Amino acid sequence: MSSIFTKIIEREIPSDIVHETENIIVIRDIAPKAKTHVLIIPKKEVRTVDDFGKEDASLISEMIFTAQEVATKLGVSGAYQLQFNVWEKWGQEVPHVHLHLLSQYN
């Protein structure tokens, strides 16, 4: 079953897209926990970090390089936090893997 992020990727529901490539979309979080709070989402449907396989190595590195690029684009380079919530027990609400990028200060 498609997650809300797949619906966003497929433009079935709107979002504030700040960056997009063939493999990744970056959107502003709907309930930001910092002045800058975006989500780096692979278009491939992977449920959580534990479901990444070796075949996803380049996708994972692309997520990190995208974080660097987006941090620069949004003016928070040098002071930001990256966070994966892994499984519901640690607060993962959306079952489609995503990397939070938050500015360090509000």
Contacts with ligand 5GP: how many residues (CB under 6 A)?
13
The one-letter amino acid code at 20 reads: E
Asked if residue 34 lies in contact with residue 102, where contact means CB atoms within 8 angstroms, the answer is yes
Q: List the catalytic residue out of 19, 96, 98, 100.
A: 98
Residue among 12, 78, 69, 11 at smallest CA distance from 40: 69
Per-residue binder mask for ligand 5GP (CB under 6 A), 6-45, x = binder: ---------x-----------xxxxx-------x------
Stretch that binds ligand 5GP, among 51-59, 60-68, 73-81, 90-98 (CB under 6 A): 90-98
94 lies in the binding site for ligand 5GP (CB under 6 A):
yes
* Catalytic (active site) residue 98: yes
Judged by beta carbon, residue 55 or residue 86, the one nearer ligand 5GP is 86
Question: Where does this chain bind ligand 5GP (CB under 6 A)?
Answer: 4, 15, 27-31, 39, 85, 91-94
